[in-house]
Structures are given as structure tokens and as C-alpha cells.
Structure 1
Amino acid sequence: MTADSLAPSARPLPPPFYRWVVLLFVSLAMFGNYYVYDSMAPVFDLLKERLAFSDQQLGLLYTVYSIAAILVLLAGGYVIDRFGTKRSIALFAVVCVVAAVVTAATGRLPVMLSGRFLLGLGSEPLIVAVTTALARWFKGKELSLAFGLNLTIARLGSVAADLSPSWARPFYRDWQSPLWLATAIAGITLSAALLYWLLEHRAEGRYQLGSAGAVDRLERGGLYSFSASYWYIVALCVVFYSVVFPFRAFAIKYFIEAHGASRELGGLLNSMLPFAAMVATPLFGYLVDRVGRRSLFMTLGSLLLLPLFLGATYLPPGREVSLWLPFLGQFTAPLTLLVIMALLGIAFSLIPAVMWPSVAYIVEERRLGSAYALMTLCQQVGMAFVPWFIGVLNDRFAAGPANPAGYAPGMWLFTLLASLGLLFSFLLWRAEHGPRAHGLETITIRKEEEKQGDD
């Protein structure tokens, strides 16, 4: 009797090597996905110079992505439930490739906006589908490790996009070639998705695969019964991502025009955020699991974020620091910008490492999917508005190489949003020291293990 003829429950589990190959392919799909999303920022100055795009129009290239993501989130994962993980991952990968082609094909703004909108329709559900696939393959095994490795490889896509002015310098003679390069890298997403399809199709007849569980979806009933602590975390999530991602969108152009940096140096500085997140996020998660104090750490991260944008605007550049990086070459950067971006990278690592897992301590398990779906939806609403508005401010105050001070109003907006983040994190800290606390400050792995031992 072969494994194919056995009932699913009687089949053997996939061998460990098979699971790790699955992880490799879905992570490569995410690598290409992240690269395509971040490939627009390094060409912002070229789009302005060669195509006469305004900063408001540049911001719209990110705004339409988030609008599409909101629509997908409202749809609630029904495509994944209907077609399964292997078909969904392949379908969304095709959408991402088509989106990259449309974006690169012409310099007409409506067409490029259509491409970025398509990317939002494919990219965000691809992330959900990959998460669902990993849960199916690794549930009861090395699930946390698999998620961490998947996110690390995905963020390498962001780092690669930011550093592309260095390792792909010949492509940056015009605005279009870097976007065609992104399209080619989107082909990695599609190829990896198709290879995953083959792996899952082969495994379905031979091995016992776990159930992925329900896809996070927004259940509209009962949304108003979430606790105040949950809403403080949602508010912090909105303002935090409304600061960091719009800043990253304009950062390379900002460093070029306001600080006289080369595109290569601007990309290096911008890459410090996802690179720091790759390294530091797991470390912060490990620390918080052992000491608790989650709302305190969120408050400290928000406090760290507060002065950085005004520091980049008004502090003197400091002495020049020489850096040499393998495969990228020599860089000379102002010390002030290096320190500011390093601190921003720490905040970019610390707050998400604590914020997302904290929801599981506040919301009961049966409503956790709705809680995360609502939180992600609100996050995208903020990310839809802020890039466009930053562009409006840059245009209104004529930000550019001839007027670096024109960037100051946008940096003040980031500071205002960061101050709101500090307020919401403080309100969370205060709530978690009151009579309706959920244990964010006190729960640690050791206490959980002792509790399970007593049970």
C-alpha cells in the first residue's frame, strides 16, 4: 500500500527537509514581493527630474497601493479560503508580476498608478496566503522560527531595493530601467510560487498536512466591545506606520535633495531600517518575553522616535564617516544622519516586536483574527493618507535641492504623528497599571511556564 492510497490521517508527516524547502520557496516569493514594493523610492528623484512628477503625485504611488490593500482586507481572505494556499499564492504572484510590468511600461502617471494599485491587490493577500501556508506546514513544529526566517528573507527584499543604486548602478541612468529590474525580480516571486504549487500538490497525495486554520478576517459584529488597551495599540499602530513607511518612501529623495547625498548613500541610509528590523526585532521579542513590561517598551520606542525627524532637519551634519561594505564599496556619510537612522532602526524594530504580539494578551482567542484584521485595516488607512499629504506639503513649500528647508513641514508632521504615538503608548501604559490590566507588564515566559506546571 502506498502513501497515496492511505487516508489523510494515516499518511506520514512531511519530512523536515521537505518543510524547509517549502519555507525557502514561499520566502523567496516574499523577497520579490517586498523588493517590488520598495523599488519605487530609489527612482523618486528621477521621476521628478525626467517626468516632471510633483511630490504629491509621487506620494500617490504609495497611496493607491494602500487603498487597494484596504479593499483586499475588507474582502476578508475569501479567495484563500475558496481556492486554497497553492492556487492563491500563484494567483497573487501573477498579479504582482503584471503590476510590476504595468508600472514600468510607461511614464504616464495614470498607468503607473494603476500598476501600483494592482500591486496592492496582489501583494497584501500574498502575504496572508504565505502566512496561511506556513501555518499549514509548520503548526506544531517550528512555527515561530519559520515565521521569523520568512520575515527575515522578505525584508532582505527591502534592503536589496534600497541598496540597488549601488549594486545595480548601471540601471539608474534613467527612471525606467530600475523598474524593469524590479519586474525581473518579481519573476522570482512567480517562479517560487509555482514551485511551491508543485511541492504542495506532490505532498497532498503523500503526506499528512496540517490545517491552516481560519484566515484572519474582519468580523464587523462586536468591534465596539474591544477594550481601551486594544484601541490604544491600534492607534499607536496607525501613527507608527504612518510615520515610518511614508518617510521611507521619500527618504532617498530627501537625503539627495536636502543633504546633498548621492543616490547610493541615500539608499544605504534608508536600508538601515529594514536591516535593523531583520537583526533586532527577534532580539527585542526575546527580551520582552522574558521581562514583560510591554507597554513600557512601546512607550520607550515612541519616545525614541520623537526627536529624530527634527534632528535630521536642524542638527549640523557632524563629521564625515567612511564606511566600506562588501560588494557595495566605499561610502562617506555624515555622522548625524548615521546616528539618526540607526536610532530610527531601533525604534522600527522595538515597537512592532512588542506591539503585534501584545494583542494576543488583550483579545480573547476566538476574536483574535478580527482584532488583527481591524488593526491592519486601520494601519493601511493611515498609510494611504500620509504619503499623499507629505507630497502636498513638499510641493506647497517648494522642497528641493534649491530649497532644502521646504522639507521641514513634512518632518514636523512626522514629529506630530510620533508625539501622538507617545501619547497613545503612555495611555496604554497607564491602563495596564490600572484595575483592568491585561498583564502586558507582568506576563513573562517563566510565569507562563510556572502557571502551566501548576495546572
Structure 2
Amino acid sequence: MNSQYSQTSRPSPLTRWAVLLFVSMAMFGNYYIFDALSPVVDLLQSDLGFTYKQIGWLWSAYNVAAVCILLVGGYIIDRFGTKKAITFFAAVCLAAAALRAATPHFEVMLAGQILLGLGAEPLIVAATATLAKWFRGKELSFAFGLNLSISRLGSASADWSTSFASPLYTNWQDPLWLATAVAGISVTAAILYWITENRVERGNYQLGEADAPDKLDVKSMFSFSASYWYIVALCVVFYATVFPFRSFAIDYFQQAHGLTREAAGLLSSMLPVAAIVATPLFGLWVDRVGKRSLFMAAGSLVMLPLFLMVTYLPPGPMVTIGLPFIGFDQAPLTLFIVMLMLGGVFSLIPAVMWPSVAYIVSEKRLGSAYALMTFCQQIGWAAVPLVVGFLNDKYLAGPSNIDGYIPSMWFYTCLAALGLVFSFKLWQTERGPGSHGLETITTKSQL
């Protein structure tokens, strides 16, 4: 990183938690923008005539753009600092959201998704590096957990918009303009973070001497340890499984299970809702007990059967789901339970995985390490929506052919199996002589 706080003059806890709040609110808007496309998948098909393949390209274009920017983005973060990077990339996301909502042309919407990928993923890397800088040795996993919870509140809010903003869903465009308005939250929060860090730099708390940023040297990046690469591999298959499933989930619940848009949105939101509650708790727990690689393996094991459960188990009785001030609807019990379980996994693995990198990689290389990790993540993530879109079109998936969705569910399951393999290899490595303390480091051990 370009700066490091001295151990003798740390900013106050209030300042640190204010930074966490501002960075998390920037992430809230970022997540909302990304997930706002999911509730309008069927409207893009009915209003604009988009195919599943075209919709898959919209998701993949985001990831391809992220792949192109992330290594450079990590260098920008290390070179110019997190406060400038977060503000710049938040502004890019705002512009992308406006472009995506502007016209009904596929090419323009595709350009908006590309611009969003250029801004959103480096913004996530910058936010991750910020928390690592401000909370290393100070409830780091708990801070990551709170950040992820607030971020995923953005995802849940995008799903909930099918209820609280239901009048907008008479067309495809109005919900995307709402997402553009929410994008303003990211920019505002980023500016507040910049102001806060400036005050710390000018105030009683002195910043340490700036570390020299790493050169953008791809060869040196690949010198990271085996544990780092097992975490990267798990990151790739985990997000390539969960996020594409979420992208198509509302449409899948509507077409394959006959739910209304409102019920499908509420059911899809159960995943981030569970994560909002559980992620900081898992982070706090792991800070106290360690066992990070073991927790990642356990989460991967739980995720393995979930997509087949959605496909093959009886739906069960209808239950009421929803939240006050958001809305209530009916959904099958089996789907509700599976989404809560997936939400638990969606809480546990990221809450442990991302902060674990800070214990493996030196601080001055964190920006590059997180960027490289996210770069690899995006390569896998980019391919999956195209495969799912291809499978759904090939097997004529739809309300008249529900079995057409089965191949994509098996595809998700195969990816989950790979995640279990990589997390088990990480656990084996961290129990051996080359460990980095992922199993043993706790808040008490660092006092």
C-alpha cells in the first residue's frame, strides 16, 4: 500500500469505524447496480426480445472488462492510494449505470456492462485493501464481515425492489434508472471516506512513511505461496457458481417454479439476507478461534448438494416469506431452506477467504494480491453465464420445459465440487510446515 499507519499513533476506533461505514456504503451502491439487472431478465426477453445467450453476454461482458482492468487497477490502488481509487471507480460505476439504462439497444447496454466491469471490480479491490490497511490486527475478519453485510444489503435491496418499487416493473428501463440513482450513494460515500482520511493525515495522527509501490511485474505476482493460490482457486469456482446462479435466479424461480416476480425477488434475496446477518458473526468467530482453512472446507462441503436439492427435492408446502416494509409472498419451503443454506455458505466462505489473504501476503503487495485474485475470479466468472445461457437455450428451458434447466444445475454442482477440492488442499497445506497461521492466528494470539 502507499501508506501505513504507525503503531504508536493509530487513528481512534471511531475514525476506523467511520471509514468502515463509508467504504461499505460505497460498496452498497456498487452491489445494487450490479444486481439490478437480475429482476428484469424476463422483461429484457419480452420487451426487447433478448435471448438467454444475449443476457449471458451482458453478465460475461462485465467480467471480461474486469479481467482487462484488474491488474492495472491493483497497481493504481497501490500507486495512488485507496481514497483516490475508490472515488474514481465509484464515479465510473455511476456513469455505467446511466449508460445501461439509456437506450433499448443491446450494444449500448453491453457497453454499459463493460464500463461497469471497469469500475466495479477495482472498486471492490480498493475497498478490500482499505479494510486490510485500517483493521490489520484489529478485528480484521469482523470488519470484513460487516463490510460484506452492508454490501450485500445492496444486493438484497435490488431483489426487494420487485416489491417496494413494483410499479417500476411495468417496463425494463425504470428499474435501471432507479439503480442509477442508487449509484450516487457510492460516489457520496467515497467522497466522505476521502475527507475522513485527509483529516487523519492532517490531524494529530501521523501516517507512516509511504512504502514504495510494487512495479506491475506479472512474474513476481506469480511467486505467491501455494496457500494463496489455493485461496484464489476456491475464489474462482465459488463466485463462478454463486453469482451466475443469482443472476438467473429470479427468472429461474419464475419460469421453473411458477413464482411471481415479487415472490421470486424475495426468495432470491434470502441469500444476501442470510449473509447480512451471518457474515459479521462468522468473521467475529473466526477472529477468535482461527481455523480459517477448515471453515472454508466446511462451507464448500455444505454447498455441494444445494443445486441438486433445488432441482430434485419435492417443493414442499408454501410458506410466507418477506420482511416488514418490503413485502410478503408465498414460496415453497424447500426452496426457502436451500436459499438460506446457500446464504450461510455465502456468508462463511467470503468472511474467511478475503481477510485470509492479509495473513499470507505482505502489506505493500496487498493491492496487487487482491487484484490478481479478483482477476482470476473474473476469468472463471466470465465463462459461466455464457455456458448457462447456452445450456438454457440448447435444452429449451422455460415454463413449458422445466427439465431444460437441469443441465445448468448439474454444471453449478460440478463447480461446487471443484471448490471442495481446493479448500481441502488449502486445509492440508495450512496444517503442514509451510503454513501461514490461518489455523492458529486469533485476536488473542496477536495481543
Tell me if both proteins adopt one fold, taking TM over 0.5 as the criterion: yes
Q: 2:292 aligns with which of 291, 294, 301?
A: 294
- Structure 2 residue matching 1:77: 3-state secondary structure: helix
- Could you tell me how far apart the structure 1 residues matched to 2:390 and 2:309 are? 22
Contact 1:163 1:268 in 2 (8 A): yes
Offset at 1:393?
Answer: 0.9
SS at 1:448's partner residue? coil
1:409 corresponds to 2:403:
no
The 1:411–1:202 alpha-carbon spacing in structure 2 relative to 1, beyond 3 Å, is same
* Corresponding position of 1:91: 88
Contact 1:280–1:350 under 8 Å retained in 2 = yes
Contact in 1 for aligned 2:56/2:389 (Cα 8 Å): yes
- The equivalent of 1:448 in structure 2 is 445
* Change over 3 Å in CA distance of 1:74–1:40 after alignment to 2: same
Specify the code of the residue in structure 2 equivalent to 1:256: Q
- Look up the equivalent residue of 2:337 and give its one-letter code: V
Alignment of 1:137-286 (within 5 A): 147-197=144-194, 205-206=202-203, 208=205, 210=207, 219-286=217-284
One-letter amino acid of the counterpart of residue 27, structure 2: M
Q: Label 1:392 to 1:216 Cα distance change in 2 as closer, same or farther (>3 A).
A: farther
Task: Supply the distance in 1 between the matched residues of 2:14 and 2:435 (Cα, whole angstroms).
Answer: 43
**1:390 counterpart = 2:403:** no
Question: What is the deviation of 1:325?
Answer: 2.1
Gaps (5+ residues) in structure 2?
A: 1-5
Tell me, yes or no, if structure 1 residue 108 matches structure 2 residue 105: yes
Q: Which residue number corresponds to residue 68 of structure 2?
A: 71
Q: 2:436 & 2:80 partners in 1: Cα distance?
A: 38
In the alignment, which residue of structure 2 is the partner of 1:41?
38
Quick one: structure 1 residues 57 and 436, their matched pair in 2 at CA, closer, same or farther if it must change by over 3 Å?
same
Counterpart residue number, 1:4: none
* Residue aligning to 1:316: 314
Query: Which residue in the other structure is 1:327 paired with?
Result: 325
Report Cα offsets for 1:28-62 as digits up to 9, x if no partner.
32221111011000111111111111111111112
RMSD value over aligned CA atoms?
3.1
Which consecutive unaligned segments of at least 5 residues does structure 1 have?
1-8
Aligned residues: 440
Q: Select between 405-414 and 270-279 the one with higher mean Cα deviation.
A: 270-279
Q: Secondary structure of 1:316's partner?
A: coil
1:357 matched residue in structure 2: 355
Q: 1:80 to 1:432 in 2, by over 3 A?
A: closer
Query: Partner residue of 2:425?
Result: 427
Call closer, same or farther: CA 1:21–1:347 in 2, change over 3 Å. closer
Q: Which has the larger radius of gyration?
A: 1
Contact 1:265–1:333 at 8 Å: present in 2 too? yes
Residue range with higher mean Cα deviation, 18-27 or 186-195: 18-27
Counterpart Cα distance in 2 of 1:140 and 1:416? 37
| Offset of residue 348 of structure 1 | 1.2
The residue aligned with 2:121 is 124
* Alpha carbons 1:218, 1:374 under 8 Å: kept: no
Whether the 8 Å contact between 1:288 and 1:294 is mirrored in structure 2 is yes
Corresponding residue for 2:3?
Answer: none
SS at match of 1:330: strand
**Structure 1 counterpart of 2:377:** 379
Kindly provide the amino acid, as one letter, of the partner of residue 268 in structure 1.
L
* Residue 349 of structure 1, CA deviation: 1.4
CA contact (8 A) 2:303 2:342 kept: yes
Give the Cα separation in 1 of the matches to 2:109 and 2:282.
38
Would the alpha carbon gap of residues 354 and 326 (structure 1) be closer, same or farther in structure 2, given more than 3 Å must change? same
Cα distance change on mapping 1:326 and 1:192 into 2, 3 Å: same
The answer to whether the 8 Å contact 2:126/2:367 transfers is no
**Cα distance, 1:310 vs structure 2:** 1.0
Q: Structure 2: how far apart are the matches of 1:142 and 1:303?
A: 27
**Alpha-carbon distance in structure 2 between the residues aligned to 1:294 and 1:18:** 28
CA change 1:38–1:293 in 2 (3 A) is same
Structure-1 separation of matches of 2:267 and 2:113 = 24
Q: What is the distance in 2 between the residues matched to 1:136 and 1:303?
A: 32
- The letter of the residue matching 1:232 is Y
Distance 1:214 1:341, change over 3 A: farther
Once the two structures are TM-superposed, the CA of residue 162 in structure 1 deviates from its matched residue by: 1.2
Is the Cα–Cα contact under 8 Å of residues 217 and 373 in structure 1 kept in the other structure? no
Report the secondary structure of 2:219's partner residue. Answer: coil
Partner secondary structure for residue 322 of structure 1: strand
Partners of 1:88 and 1:108 lie apart in 2 by 31
TM-score by length of 2: 0.87
* Alpha-carbon distance change, 432 to 313 in structure 1, aligned in 2, over 3 angstroms: same
Higher RCO, 1 vs 2 (CA within 8 Å, ≥6 residues apart): 2
Distance 1:324 1:235, change over 3 A: closer
Q: How much does 1:426 deviate? A: 2.4
The change in CA–CA distance for 1:221 and 1:310 in structure 2 (over 3 A counts) is: same
Aligned AA (2:100): T
Output the TM-score relative to the length of structure 1: 0.86
Q: Deviations over 1:147-195 (max 9, x none)?
A: 5443332221111111110111111111111001111111222333344
What is the letter of the counterpart of residue 402 of structure 1? S
C-alpha spacing 1:428/1:414, structure 2 compared with 1 (3 Å): same
Contact 1:217 1:370 in 2 (8 A): no
Structure 1 stretch 144-153 or stretch 323-332: which is displaced more?
Answer: 144-153
Q: Deviations over 1:348-380 (max 9, x none)?
A: 112222323334455566655544332221111
CA drift of 1:206 comes to 4.7
Deviations 1:374-403 (A, max 9, x none): 222111111111111111111111111111
| SS class of match (1:402) | coil
